[in-house]
Structure 1
Amino acid sequence: MLTNKSLFRIYFFLFTMLLSFFIASGEETGEQDDVDKAYKIAYKYILDEQWDNALKAFKKLIQDYPQSKWVDDSHFWQCFAREKKGEDLESVFKCYESFITKYRSSKWVDDARTNMIRIGQQLAKSGKPEY
């Protein structure tokens, strides 16, 4: 038979375990909120056509939150911003190519392929038939 002291110890142990769980969950939620906020800020730069700021913001997001659900999106938008910024089309093509290789199941793969086709056509017209 359990004594009051034993019951107290059991309840105290269970309480501290539950409390630890909720504290840990809160920390994860806080980090998720931070990464979501960082993504929204970076994406707003895309919408505002602030390509340099977008590149910096997405780079920081990838560095700060490498396991985030937004990493593949961030890589895609980096390629997109580089293209819109007017960077060398061959390097932008390779950026999309690298993105597709690394994130095969991303929702952005079709968009990246479409952009690669368009860029490849531009490169071929400019005398680079290998594209």
Structure 2
Amino acid sequence: MWTRFAAIPAFELAVWSRQWLGWWCLAAVLAVVVWLWLNVHLFKPVEPTSWAARGIYGEQLHVDAKVPAEHKATLNWLIASGLTGFALIAWGLTTLNIWPLILGTVMVVLAQLWRIDRYGLLFQQHLREQAPDDAA
């Protein structure tokens, strides 16, 4: 997960580099895209023992539509915040304007970190609900 976070500024720099590299910036963009593809295939799935791993397993519950109502509103808000940040990034990269780029990047990263934390809580709740009742 952490290696994918590194792709955010790398992609932004690759796109911004069109100022200096012209069309050659596409090689840098392609390198980031290839890294993101390889990233998924190079690293084996991990046990849910770390904060990040629990977040990844919780995200799978969201994908599988196993999200309790108390988590849905927060997750939807965080997704909307991340999309707003992404729009600011797109604006900043399109116009080569640094402030929307930085603001958008901060919004995307913070929303993603909070979302991963929420997914981790969701995963832990799921494990508690699936655990056999020891009191019986």
TM-score where L is the length of structure 1: 0.30
Mark the structure with the bigger radius of gyration.
1
Higher relative contact order (CA 8 A, sep 6+): 2
